[in-house]
Amino acid sequence: MRDLFRAIEEAWAGSTRPTLQTAAGSSVARLVTAAAVHHGYPVVNLVRGERGAAVLRDRFPSVLVVSTSDPGWTEQALMALGGRPRVVLDAVGGALATQLIGLLENGGTFIAYGLLSGEPLLSSTTAVFGRELRMRGVSVEQWAHGRTPELQASDVEFAVKLARKAPELFDVAATYYLTDFQEALAGVGRPGKVGTVLRTMPVTRVKANA
């Protein structure tokens, strides 16, 4: 989570830039939104359906939300941002990510931290390098193996403080047993999902010896 904030701050390069983020109903995206509201950063959220949009508008009244189910969502997003975004924060990938890369202003930054669609990016090399776009990935795996113990400890402390300060940002959308992998995967990509999908193990009761 903290790595994601670092990536955003580096993309802003010392000044707040209009930012567009996908999967805005997820716990991670809502944390980003909360930080943006706290610091006065300009951000516009994208969700896949009106139900999720309504929930976010209620939780963050000052932040504009656009549903990609609306045929004119790109125009709405650009109007809300006041122009092309300087930074795109994406957890979806696939066709949506390709569209968002096309919306970035020249020299902008695309930050990917998920692949909910299960589809690869389709943008050509010319579309990226010809416009001097910067592509960056953020992953838990790199954080776990590529960060110093001191930095990891600091990041965990940051996450704990955030969770204690704003527990309402960590809604649970649904819980599935570990054996229900396909159902859990479908739940992650469900339109209108707000919160985190959890996987758990069933409780096994052991009878005491007589």
pLDDT class of 196 with cuts at 50, 70, 90: low
Amino acid at 4: L
174 forms bridges with which residues in the sheet?
197
CATH number for the region 2-143 comes to 3.40.50.720
Q: For 111-151, what is each residue's pLDDT tens digit?
A: 998 888 888 777 667 778 888 998 988 876 655 555 677 76
Q: For 72-116, what is each residue's pLDDT tens digit?
A: 999 999 999 888 998 999 999 999 999 999 999 999 999 998 888
Q: In terms of C-beta density within 10 A (0-12 exposed, 13-18 middle, 19 or more buried), how is residue 29 classed? A: buried
Cα(65)–Cα(57) distance, integer angstroms: 7
Domain ranges of the chain: 2-143
Cα(135)–Cα(120) distance, integer angstroms: 14
Is-above-0.85 flag for pTM?
A: no
Q: For 11-69, what is each residue's pLDDT tens digit?
A: 877 667 778 999 998 888 888 888 788 778 888 999 998 888 998 999 899 999 999 99
